Amino acid sequence: MRDDEIDELKRMVISELMIFMTEDPALVCRAMRIIFIATYLERIADHATNIAEMAIYLAEGKIIRHGKDDRHDEGYEKVRGCESRR
């Protein structure tokens, strides 16, 4: 799964739980716990993404953090005078 997919899943969980909480206020405490869990899991996914990006950079010298293509990486190499490792 991509980071954007995890973010969307969290938004979906929160949206559904908001509906449940408005329909039955007795569920607020339980729903809030689930929202916190969804937030924590999304944050774990963010950390995992960051670790993977750092590992790719260390292994290949490729910066993938700022986009889905290599345009940022190529621009960085030109500005910094780095040689490409491709």
Location of structure tokens 């991509």: 2
- Specify the pTM: 0.67
Spatial separation of the C-alpha atoms in residues 81 and 2, rounded to whole Å: 31
Classify domain 3-80 at the CATH superfamily level.
Answer: Phosphate transport system protein phou homolog 2; domain 2 (1.20.58.220)
* Helical spans, DSSP H, in the chain: 3-23, 28-60, 71-80
pLDDT value for 67: 58
Instruction: Give the model's pLDDT for residue 73.
Output: 45
Q: Which residue has the higher pLDDT, 76 or 61?
A: 61
Query: What are the residue boundaries of the structural domains of the chain, listed by start?
Result: 3-80
State residue 33's pLDDT score.
97
At residue 58's C-alpha, the angle toward residues 62 and 43, to 5°, is 90
pLDDT band at 2 (very low <50, low <70, confident <90, very high): confident
Looking at residue 3, its pLDDT comes to: 81
In the predicted model, is pLDDT for residue 70 greater than 70?
no
